Amino acid sequence: MTAGDVGRVAAIEGVSAPTPWSASTFANELGIPFSRALVAEVEGQGAVACAVWWRVAAELYLLNLAVAPENRRQGIARAPFSREVLPGAGAEAAEQVTLEVAAENAPALALYEAFGFAPVGRRRGLLWLRATMRSS
């Protein structure tokens, strides 16, 4: 993600989350040394999805994953996990990956479950999920 992507990413987030991040929140992530921000692009459309995660100590924490409504159910959300987040966790020797998701978000829950995430906690309509990384 670059500063040029922030407006589009904030627009995607605005229609994807009940309490969306602002453009300034995304922009701030670009300056945090342990933050990683990624966009998925489709030719002719530009950015259609984003993922933001932190690598802190032995843990990766997925902060944000959003896909434009017209691009959902096309496998775009799988790419950050299969190509960046989980391989990066292994390369950086992260022991676990944690995230939170709305308890009623069945498509997201199915995605995370497919990657080995399991519930570890709950609060106000949210589930905390965690996947333990296998050592190589």
According to DSSP, the β-strands at 59-67 and 35-42 are unpaired
Catalytic residue among 13, 43, 100, 104: 100
pLDDT at res. 89: 56
- Into how many domains does the chain fold? 1
Catalytic residue among 43, 92, 112, 113: 112
The pLDDT tens digits along the chain (136 residues) read 999 999 999 999 999 888 899 999 999 999 999 999 999 888 999 899 999 989 888 888 999 999 999 998 888 877 665 666 666 555 566 788 899 999 999 988 998 898 889 999 999 989 999 988 765 4
Q: Is 112 a catalytic residue?
A: yes
Q: Is 61 a catalytic residue?
A: no
**Which domain covers residue 118, as residue numbers?**
3-69+76-132
CATH code assigned at 25: 3.40.630.30
